[in-house]
Structure 1
Amino acid sequence: MITPRFSCSQTENSVVISIYCPSVRASDVEISVDETLFSVHINPYFLRLNFSHALLEGDASSAVYDPSTGYLTVTLTKEVSGQEFKDLDLLAKLLAPRPPKEAQTQPVIEILENPETPQDDGVDELAERTQELTLEQREILEAAENDWQLPQSIPEVLPPLRTTAEQRYGFLNTHSGYFRHAEHTENEVNELRADAETSTPEERRQKRLKHEDEKWDEEYYMADYVDDEYIRELISWPNPHLTSPPEEFEYTEKENIVMLRLPRKEYLSTPAQTHALYLTLLTVLFSYAYEMRTTQHDPTPESAWTLASLTPAFSALDPAPYDQPQQRSAVPGAFTEAEVASTFTVSYRRALAFPLYRSFALAEACRADVAGLLSRGKRLVARCLLEVKDILDHHEVYYVYSKIWVDDFCVWTLAYASDEILSRLADAVKSLRMTKSMIRWDLEELESLAREDAQRDTDSDDESEDEIERMLPAPLP
């Protein structure tokens, strides 16, 4: 079945769904409405949408097909007149499966005997069976009867049973097998090489840290620190996503088509996994902000390499969090300064070790971009992820990171991310104070040496000019 292009709008009493399905017979259309779930089938098209509130097929509902334009317009009545249906422009959220209804709470106490119920002859049989119990079982029964306090201990958690050497990775650790032939591909950003499928999370992190230290170049950093004229231009460049009025935001036709092709998945993540996804989102947005700022929103053939290299979840399969468990917030949707700082520390290290422009000030500008993007909500964040997906999808090797991370991130952001949490995260990023000592590469000392060298060169140039003037003949009277 083909998922058709569609759009949704609403009035005070109705929701209007416009579906593009050219060259079909209107008599074959099948429409079904089940509370919040709407589906339409007209061969070869099938569309199923899950709305935030219930709809009805009332007297005011209708379905009209215009063969000249190829559009089927379905008007459905709101169960509650005047109720606002939010996120009608988030097509991926409408296409997401309907979440299961909460299971009914099961009773935690089972009544084995009611004192008011007369005893039956089964008591004698039970007594006889009790006599056959082992000594240990009798002690337990006696303890229960006399309310004794038997010694208890919590059993140790057994490690998960492993039947293969392969490790899972990617979004919510749901992917594997994408790097089985990594040694035969020209994937320059894969820091795990042939061990990508078998490295544990701890091994991936150690290899990432080692690779960052190996790629760190003091002279490169000092040169960019001294000769920073073009970097200052990149820092002063106005980000169009942050300068355009928020009320004018609207997805393009190309973006809507891409959202229709995203996977239809339901993500059942734990609170800890959801928390980690928000932190990993910071690293993806930082890489995007760096690529966008250094190319001034005009991607180049190197853009896919830049995005993949700067995102540790891509190049080393090492997503957040990067701090210690005791530093993390115990409140759902809240983020401590330590865990946000540790996340950006990783991004800063990579921005200073790998790409063309290596500047701490440029990294600070990218962090400010991330805070601004998050403050605009999930619609703009999803647009940024769609742009990342478009860049990766057009690369013959790095498209793999779109498959294992960005596709799912797009759907999750549109259907599950919270604007309230993104706003709190934006505040945490904006108020964060990053210091050069966090990077652990003696940046302040290197900058001091670079300034001294630049000053010596200036003094040497002045002395050379004075010497040349002394060697010149005196002017004629």
Structure 2
Amino acid sequence: MITPAFELTQDPDFLTIVIKVPYARGSEFDVYFEGEDFKFYAKPYFLRLTLPGRTVEDGREKASYNTDKGTFTIRLPKEIPGQYFEGLDMLTSLLAPKKSRSGKPLVEEIDTAASAELSEEEEEEFDWEIEQTPYEESAESMLPLQYCYGFGNLRSGVFQRLQDELSDVIDIKAPDQTPVDERRRKRLAAEAAKFDPDHYLADFFEDEAIQHVLMYKPWWVDVHKKMTAFKGESHQEHDNHTFVVFSEEEKEQLRKLTNKSYLLDKRSRHHVYLGLTDILLAYCYEICVNEGDKNVESAWNIRKLSATLCWLESFTSIHDVLVSFGRRVLCYPLHRHFGLVTRAFNDTVMILQLGKAAVLKCLLDIHKIFRENDPAYILNDLFITDYCIWIQKTKSKKLAALSESLQKTTLTKSHIGFELEELEAAAVLVEEEERMLKAAGTVSKQQLPSSESETSESEESSSTSSSETEGSDSDERESSTSEDGKINSLQGTLQEERTAPLIDCNGLRQGTNTSTFEVSDEKPKVSLQSTSVPGKLIEELEKQMHTAIRLSEQPEGLAAASCILQEQEENRVSKPDGFSKDTTGKGDFLEVSSKANPLLLFCSTNEDED
């Protein structure tokens, strides 16, 4: 037999069941309902439901078949008009037979078997001749202790059969031999070793990407707003689930789940609720940072941020759950920001307030993520599948109480244990000191010593126009007149200025403290502190120069000067070595060159002078 797809809705007086039976004969079907029992048969489909409320056969019942869609629609009158049937979207729990919904028969069977064995033992005659041995206390190391884990701590020995995939699923080693307290100690030590202050401070100061993802609104935000508005208008709470709609894929997931009952004591139920909170926190973080999209790291994010999944942790309080989640957010994922912890906390409160339908929808999404990831599917068998079945039978009041407790719990950076506030304060101080040092460096550059400022001024003057530099050059020449006659001083100055900048936007310029030579389109303007240079000085200067470079071989900046000198050389009269005659008759040129810096001196003399 095939279990068909089905859907239940209700109004104040009727319960409507829509059953999809494609390729079935509409003329051959059977429907049976009485109280909470409902049965439907249309070969090859069979459906048996345990309804959350009682129905009655009073002549108002009605059934119809749509041949185009292949669906049966059956309307059943409610025994108590106006009664609200809770949990109509919990399809897995509806599929279970009524007897299997309770754990009492299982307990009774176990007790019956135990009592039967006991009665058989009592009937047997006791053997007084049994061999006696001295009592010896067995060592603890010889006992094959196995610690429990999984949903409600109902599993053990699972990882002994899955050693190859153990490291890819959880962080704890040998969980079957590790008690809960030791798991917690190892987890805290691993988190303390993993925490990176530089990564945390980088996300703290440069949080543009984090602020962007914090603006994302998942589906439960709008649903929660609608639910809040509806509550304010109608003051009704039982219609919360109607705002959460399951997709066809999710309904198919629910139908494939095998319903079963869980025998949980009070302590185990407490662990289950806290574990559910931890898993939802990790899921909300994943949805926020990826803005609702799934990727290859989604399964890793959820199981890594949940200590319940990654370390098989069993929490004892809500505050412990929040602290564990906050620590893991600041240690493992790409975005490590406390704002993401707060955002996941608020989203989890919203989901719990929406009721078990919203929680189930999130669990089904987690189940799908783990199912599509190779090693993470084990966590479905240990936790998520059981959570999906168990949550359908949970009372909404329990989830509402859990959300209230979660809201009353506070989590601050001091609770995390990584000295976050101290790190942030120290980082802010360092940032302020760097800013002050940068400001001081700017001021010191503006207040340079006089020698450096003069040098910088001389360098800047090389890029100014020739008209602006004439005044500064004349001032420099006047300041050097006191050294007139000192040959050694003049020679040293000329040697120091070999590599000085010569190129000006208008031609050639030599900026020294003793002389300035400028070439332009006009007649050459020459200023020299001494109009008559001794012959010995000229000879000594010629000896000190190692090589001579023509002005025509200089960079482009000397092109204009080269053209002028070439025209003048055609009209020159031969002179002694080192001199060339100016056709204007006003003086002689002294050409002294070197590889680094050509120097032209113009000696202004009269024809009758030597």
TM-score normalised by L of structure 1: 0.76
Question: What per-residue deviation string (whole Å, max 9, x for no partner) do you get for residues 152-174 of structure 1?
Answer: xxxxxxxxxx9854443211223
Q: Secondary structure at the match of 2:392?
A: helix
Q: Secondary structure at the match of 1:400?
A: helix
Identity of aligned residues (%): 28
Partner residue, 1:201: 180
In structure 1, distance between residues paired with 2:257 and 2:33: 24
**How large is the RMSD of aligned CA atoms in angstroms?**
2.8
Paired AA for residue 397 in structure 1: P
Q: How far 1:76 sits from its partner (Å)?
A: 2.5
1:299 is the counterpart of 2:328: no
Partner residue, 2:419: 442
Moved more, 163-172 or 465-474: 465-474
Change (3 A) 1:12 1:273: same
Partner residue, 1:46: 46
In structure 2, runs of 5+ residues without a counterpart are 106-141, 228-241, 469-610
1:348 paired residue among 308, 314, 326: 326
Q: Secondary structure at the match of 2:330?
A: helix
Change (3 A) 1:203 1:28: farther
Paired AA for residue 160 in structure 2: R
In structure 2, distance between residues paired with 1:241 and 1:28: 43
1:387 paired residue among 360, 365, 368: 365
Q: How far 1:101 sits from its partner (Å)?
A: 9.8
Change (3 A) 1:173 1:459: same
Question: What per-residue deviation string (whole Å, max 9, x for no partner) do you get for residues 253-298 of structure 1?
Answer: 2221222122311223223222222221211111011111111111
Paired AA for residue 152 in structure 2: L
| Bigger Cα Rg | 2
Paired AA for residue 3 in structure 2: T
Paired AA for residue 260 in structure 1: R
State how many pairs are aligned: 400
In structure 2, distance between residues paired with 1:41 and 1:164: 51
Partner residue, 2:433: 456
Partner residue, 2:192: 213
Partner residue, 1:225: 204
Paired AA for residue 308 in structure 2: A
In structure 1, distance between residues paired with 2:377 and 2:409: 33
Q: How far 1:305 sits from its partner (Å)?
A: 0.1
Instruction: Decide whether the 8 Å contact of 1:189 with 1:315 is kept in 2.
Output: yes
1:168 paired residue among 143, 148, 154: 148
Instruction: Decide whether the 8 Å contact of 2:52 with 2:88 is kept in 1.
Output: no
Paired AA for residue 231 in structure 1: I
Partner residue, 2:273: 278
In structure 2, distance between residues paired with 1:197 and 1:207: 15
Counterpart mapping for 1:256-271 below 5 A: 256-271=251-266
Change (3 A) 1:240 1:22: closer
For CA contacts below 8 A with separation 6 or more, give which structure has more relative contact order. 1
Question: What per-residue deviation string (whole Å, max 9, x for no partner) do you get for residues 404-444 of structure 1?
Answer: 1111112222221x322322322332232212222222122
Q: How far 1:181 sits from its partner (Å)?
A: 4.7
1:312 is the counterpart of 2:307: yes
Q: How far 1:202 sits from its partner (Å)?
A: 3.0
Q: How far 1:216 sits from its partner (Å)?
A: 1.9
Counterpart mapping for 1:101-116 below 5 A: none
In structure 1, distance between residues paired with 2:26 and 2:294: 44
Q: How far 1:45 sits from its partner (Å)?
A: 2.7
Question: What per-residue deviation string (whole Å, max 9, x for no partner) do you get for residues 277-324 of structure 1?
Answer: 222121111101111111111122111000000111111111322xxx
In structure 1, distance between residues paired with 2:92 and 2:170: 30
Q: Secondary structure at the match of 1:36?
A: strand
Paired AA for residue 169 in structure 1: Y
Q: How far 1:178 sits from its partner (Å)?
A: 4.0
1:407 paired residue among 374, 380, 385: 385
Instruction: Decide whether the 8 Å contact of 1:377 with 1:422 is kept in 2.
Output: yes
In structure 2, distance between residues paired with 1:168 and 1:45: 40
Change (3 A) 1:101 1:185: closer
